[in-house]
Structure 1
């Protein structure tokens, strides 16, 4: 018998409260045969992901499967189990060995990486395990079931909230191509000019701006102040959750420097949004706080025009969610300093992205 195994795991803190989920489906029709999920106490994302794989393989064997197609959104686990990446983390080697032993009992096993949005059932089970362990009431629905149905009808602007996303102007680290996370560096002279130009573009979009919101870091606050001056002196409101990703030990380094010193960790980070830089913050963690911040913004300024001045990672994550894109979007989209993106959001959950990374005002 041939089955599909979808597996996932997660950790709220990395390390932190963790859980795994696994779904066994019929091949090729995809009906669910068996589900597994459980709490793992405090551990890392990678341990939780490997545990999801192990439990999924065990479940397949219990169903007397002989062929298994494994699908996961963890690039690390898929590449390591496929033999293309070395397992350098000693803590993962026993788990990989356990998974390999289960694989040896089957006639054929394939491993395929899939985007997170195609692994929602296993992800929901992992989150259910974490919720139950923390005493929360888990949702019984998959995350996308309440999403509005797509439509080709041109959207009416009635009740829409316009969000203008602006990346801060250039800093010394921006110009040098260095990771710039929580370090509070100021705008360069060029960055000041870019911020004023962005203000002119925002004024062209709307002079009836309801609010100008900013990350707490001064490169964003200064950009927001210059934009606010161009649109009638709207006060700048600092929103802490709009802050950039914490790049930990990579702060202030170039990509090449990180690649030379942390090749394994960099590959893992590029392969999964659940992985954090050493001493830093994962994109999953950033996405969680950004979604919370945007939900508050849409509620507080419903029907208005809101300028959000933030950083590369938060803006990319907002646009990824708005476009229902995969995680690969995060590494394929380039955002210029003082680039402007615009989107509209409606109370029923519909979103229209109007523009991404406008830069004509910088020329």
Structure 2
């Protein structure tokens, strides 16, 4: 009989970004230093155990991941392209107040993102496939409890993969709340195959 091993994976969404309200995907917008330090302290206060940390390369995630790693010198930090947020095309990073002519497209996207891809954006199905493949690769190589600092969209796609949700259902984006600086916990047991269990979704961290 194979050894049974169980690992904890924590998905940490970055804090609220600086700047006007907009769709921030690949736009490398920042989070205020005070907020980043507050989240780092909140993660420490949670007293969750992890031996490795991965991060999206975007600064709103990577800066936080490096702060957490600095407080835990034994951690290995991997900055990975695979955890990047989706790309919102021509509207990525454009303040909503400057995009009034695009409101019909934005409204259609919010109502049904699967069908109404924004101009030059990464289609939802392509985003899901990218994150789904990344998650499979990550789980296959998993050997220790890990914290992943990433994005709301990334976390939703991981949950959709684990829970086998229909990504065409708009409720995943309008009703499933993954707040800034929140923690989602997935437990993975490696035995005859991989067993995945969602233990917690979107727990707010007060930083």
Band of TM-score, shorter chain = 0.7 to 0.9
Deviations 1:210-251 (A, max 9, x none): 321111111111111122234444132111111111011222
Q: 2:172 aligns with which of 310, 313, 329?
A: 329
How many Å separate the matches in 2 of 1:362 and 1:340? 11
What is the distance in 2 between the residues matched to 1:199 and 1:274?
37
Is contact 1:169-1:194 (8 Å) kept? no
**Residue number in structure 2 paired with 1:353:** 198
Q: How do 1:245-256 residues align onto structure 2 when only pairs under 5 Å count?
A: 245-253=86-94
Q: Deviations over 1:174-210 (max 9, x none)?
A: xx432111111222134313331343155x121xx23
> 2:91–2:119: 8 Å Cα contact kept in structure 1?
yes
| Residue 104 of structure 2: aligned partner | 263
Q: Distance in 1 between matches of 2:196 and 2:97?
A: 37
Residue 352 (structure 1) shift: 1.1
Q: 1:194 aligns with which of 38, 57, 82?
A: 38
* TM-score computed with the length of structure 1 as normaliser: 0.50
Return 214-223 or 326-335, whichever deviates more: 326-335
Matches within 5 A, 1:1-363: 158-173=4-19, 176-201=20-45, 204-206=47-49, 209-253=50-94, 261-264=102-105, 266-268=107-109, 270-273=111-114, 275-302=116-143, 304-326=144-166, 327=169, 328-347=171-190, 348-359=193-204, 361-362=205-206
Structure 2: state its 5+ residue gaps.
none
The range that moved more, 322-331 or 340-349, is 322-331
Q: What CA distance in whole angstroms lies between the structure 2 residues aligned with 1:259 and 1:320?
A: 31
Q: Which structure's relative contact order is higher, taking Cα pairs within 8 Å and 6+ residues apart?
A: 2
Structure 1 residue 266: Cα displacement: 3.8
- Contact kept in structure 2, 1:198 and 1:340, CA below 8 Å: no
The size of the alignment, in residue pairs, is 199
- Tell me how far apart the structure 2 counterparts of residues 191 and 277 of structure 1 sit (CA, whole Å): 30
TM-score where L is the length of structure 2: 0.83
Give a deviation string over 1:293-312, Cα, whole Å, max 9, x none.
1112112223x201111111
Unaligned runs of 5+ in 1: 1-157
